Amino acid sequence: MGKETVLALLLREKGHFVSGEAVSAELGITRAAIWKSISALRAQGYEIDAVTGRGYCLKSLPGTLTEQTVRSYLGPVETVGKRIDCFDSIDSTNAYLKRIALDGAPDGTVAVAAEQTSGRGRHGRSFQSAAGKGVYLSILLRPKLAPSQLMPLTGLIAVAMSRAVDRVAGTYSQIKWTNDLILNGRKLCGILTELSVEGETGELQYVVAGIGFNVSQREEDFDGEVSKIATSILRETGRLISRAELSAAMIEELDALYTALRSGETSGYLDEYRRRCVTIGREVQLLWQDTKEKVTALDVDEEFGLIVRRENGTVETVRTGEVSVRGLYGYVE
């Protein structure tokens, strides 16, 4: 029994004083052992007040991403977040979950890291995942659904992540089709969804969805072309938010989404996606392989495909490739 037990008690009573006598009686440890634990926790970045006659009060948590700090902000969840694996550094949270999925990791397992050394975005692009600057979180899902029923998943997750960051940071984030979260015209978050399907039967084995949020990067923290399109919560709001609190909000919103997905009640997410989507109603460049074509984005369908009108007047739905929105990310003509 050590500082983790003392911390658990202080977390339970966060913001309130608890006397040394009460801690000693509940945990069965001496006052000296309590003080030793308090000192160790302070050294880790926990802000703990100690007042004679009142006891100890946990005022704030460190910025580190640990299971304990994340759970201190986490409310009740049904599936997502029952298991949370936290890392100071990892190659990729998506890659990690795909590895443990083969060993039977349960539905709803979460992996969250303070740094990724091999983070990936769509089409195999690297995703800059600087140490201590963001939240890099992935979930492992095993829904009893056909792969075709998961086509809207990335768009649904975009809505859930908009809700999470807005709740914690007080922002109003928007979505660029299909999977970028935008704040003040710059990319704040990326999403990568990967499915594993059984070869012979075509049945879904699992799906892994990864989300990368830029939290405290400054302009100099983004390299190369990324510096022209990316931003962070700190840059846009001036606020340094808790990465553990954001992680907990992400898990809560993902858990609510998973419940809605399994019940088929996702119409509210589609409506919200349309309201937040900066692509709808704009002139965009359709990017596919080596071709570029100017079209007008009209709407998003129920599977989050982009309905566009070509210059010849024909209307069709785009489900693959990417779009560049005029006025965003440097696209001006």
pLDDT, tens only, 29-63:
999 999 999 998 888 778 899 999 999 999 877 76
Q: What is the pLDDT of residue 320?
A: 78
Of the residues 19, 34, 60, the one at which a domain ends: 60
CA distance 305 to 299: 8
Q: How many domains does the chain have?
A: 3
Are 98 and 164 part of one and the same domain?
Answer: yes
* Pairing relationship of beta strands 283-288 and 55-60 according to DSSP bridges: unpaired
Q: What is the pLDDT of residue 331?
A: 55
Domain containing residue 167: CATH number: 3.30.930.10
CA distance 56 to 284: 57
Whole domain around residue 320: which residue ranges?
283-325
Q: Which residue has the higher pLDDT, 6 or 106?
A: 106
Are 49 and 99 part of one and the same domain?
Answer: no
Are 191 and 242 part of one and the same domain?
Answer: yes
Position 112 in a domain? yes
Are 34 and 100 part of one and the same domain?
Answer: no
Over residues 225-257, the pLDDT tens digits come to: 777 889 999 999 999 899 999 999 999 999 999
Of the residues 276, 291, 307, the one at which a domain ends: 276
Distance of CA 34 to the CA centre of its chain: 35
Are 54 and 78 part of one and the same domain?
Answer: no
Over residues 68-97, the pLDDT tens digits come to: 889 988 999 999 999 999 999 999 999 999
Residue 161 pLDDT exceeds 90: yes
Are 216 and 81 part of one and the same domain?
Answer: yes
Residue 260 pLDDT exceeds 90: yes
Residue 130 pLDDT exceeds 70: no
Name the pLDDT band for 123 (thresholds 50, 70, 90): very low
Q: What is the pLDDT of residue 125?
A: 53
Position 47 in a domain? yes
Q: What is the pLDDT of residue 232?
A: 95
Are 113 and 211 part of one and the same domain?
Answer: yes
Over residues 271-303, the pLDDT tens digits come to: 999 999 999 999 998 887 667 889 999 999 999
List Cβ neighbours of 295 (8 Å cut-off, separation of 6 or more). Answer: 283, 284, 285, 286, 308, 309, 310, 311
Residue 168 pLDDT exceeds 90: yes
Are 167 and 295 part of one and the same domain?
Answer: no
Position 330 in a domain? no
Q: What is the pLDDT of residue 1?
A: 55
Identity of the residue numbered 202: G
Q: What is the pLDDT of residue 129?
A: 57
Domain containing residue 52: CATH number: 1.10.10.10
Q: What is the pLDDT of residue 122?
A: 53
| pTM of the model as a whole | 0.84
Over residues 195-221, the pLDDT tens digits come to: 999 888 889 999 999 999 999 988 888
Average pLDDT, the chain: 89
Residue 315 pLDDT exceeds 70: yes
Helix (H) or strand (E) segment spanning residue 259: helix 243-263
CA distance 261 to 275: 20
Are 150 and 255 part of one and the same domain?
Answer: yes
Q: What is the pLDDT of residue 60?
A: 79
152, 166, 84, 109: CA torsion to nearest 10 = -10
Position 331 in a domain? no
Position 333 in a domain? no
Residue 143 pLDDT exceeds 70: yes
Position 71 in a domain? yes
Are 10 and 88 part of one and the same domain?
Answer: no
Identity of the residue numbered 161: M
Are 97 and 238 part of one and the same domain?
Answer: yes
Q: Which residue has the higher pLDDT, 323 or 111?
A: 111
Are 8 and 140 part of one and the same domain?
Answer: no
**Other beta carbons within 10 Å of 78:** 12
Lowest mean pLDDT among 11-25, 138-152, 186-200, 219-233: 219-233
